[in-house]
Amino acid sequence: MAKTEQPAARVGKPQDDFPHRPNDPLTFFLVFIWLGAVLIFVTLAFSVLLIPSRTYKLFMGSLLFILGVIPLPTRNSKNPVHVLGYKLGNRIMLAACYYFGLKIIRSGAPMPANPKGHGAIVAMEPHDILPYAIFAFAKDDLFPEFPPGVGLMTSAVFSLPWVRQIYSYCLAGSIDKKNFARNLKEGNLCVMIPGGVQEVALQQKQPPGSIALYLNKRKGFVKLALQHGSTIIPSFTFNYDGSFRTWIPEDTLGLNKKLGFLPMLYFGRGGIPLGIPNPPNRITVTVGEPISVPLIEEPTQEDIDRVHKQFVEGMVKTFEDNKVKAGYEKRTLVIL
């Protein structure tokens, strides 16, 4: 894969509080292109089956096939289509800030001095149905030390025509180990959800007021951080509540491990299946104190466990320090 070249970060006064404009037509349209990408793909795929025109079937079927197999764009591409695509992705991320009325709360702790090329990992929680708050780290003024964050997620997303292109233009990539390590070596800010989609199924079994975080066995990213000397930054998102209505079959965790995604059906704004989230509340993304991680090329299990414990403690502290301000004073974390 060609080397990813991220744009230089802009240094200036950051905007951490955006007005809530979920009903603005352009904002809605741009967010739909992104978070409604799966719905768009499913609609186009079914249209090939349902529309009788042979010409349409040939055209749309060929288009979806091409979008499914052509190489994904890279940031250093000079192709005018990709240049425009990344500009569109940047505009979509800005629109998301307004659609969800993004508010960012920072710990105020300084970023440790990272040697160039060691990157950093933002470990966000919770996952929820779609962890769309990941867009907050695509802002180029959140961490002036780094270019806009690369959102890492299941490789299943990048097997779907149209979806794979839109997500790539919005600075998303596969969370497979090779791609993760490559981004850290290039000095990128990698944003990921350690608990994964398993948290969605586990949340169904929790009592009201509890938030399940599946973290106790999630140590792979910690090992990568140690191998690259990458800072870990805990982050918690408040106010996902009410984004979707869902239907999840019983005992789906086994299927999730085999398929790479959790079989479920979710209903978004207007009750539309696979639609974009309802925006009942403003999204608050809290950024915890960065954890300085030493460079250890061959970390022991003891090394991994020590840093993982620091991370879990940092995540709990980030939640507890901010839950009253976010209206979560009666909510508690359950670390699984």
DSSP 89-114: HHHHHHHHHHHTT-EEEE--PPPP-P
- Please check the confidence at residue 3 and state whether its pLDDT lies above 50: no
* CA distances in angstroms from 85 to 77, 81, 91, 165, listed in the order given: 11, 6, 10, 8
User: Looking at the DSSP assignment, which residues form a beta bridge with residue 284?
Assistant: 103, 238
CB atoms within 10 A of CB 172: 24
Average pLDDT, the chain: 86
User: Tell me, what's the pLDDT at 113?
Assistant: 67
Least-confidence region, from 128-132, 164-168, 198-202, 330-334: 198-202
User: Tell me, what's the pLDDT at 130?
Assistant: 86
- Please check the confidence at residue 221 and state whether its pLDDT lies above 60: yes
Instruction: Give the mean pLDDT of 158-173.
Output: 93
C-alpha dihedral (240, 245, 247, 253), degrees to nearest 10:
0
Least-confidence region, from 110-114, 244-248, 303-307, 314-318: 110-114
pTM for the full predicted model: 0.87
User: Tell me, what's the pLDDT at 262?
Assistant: 63
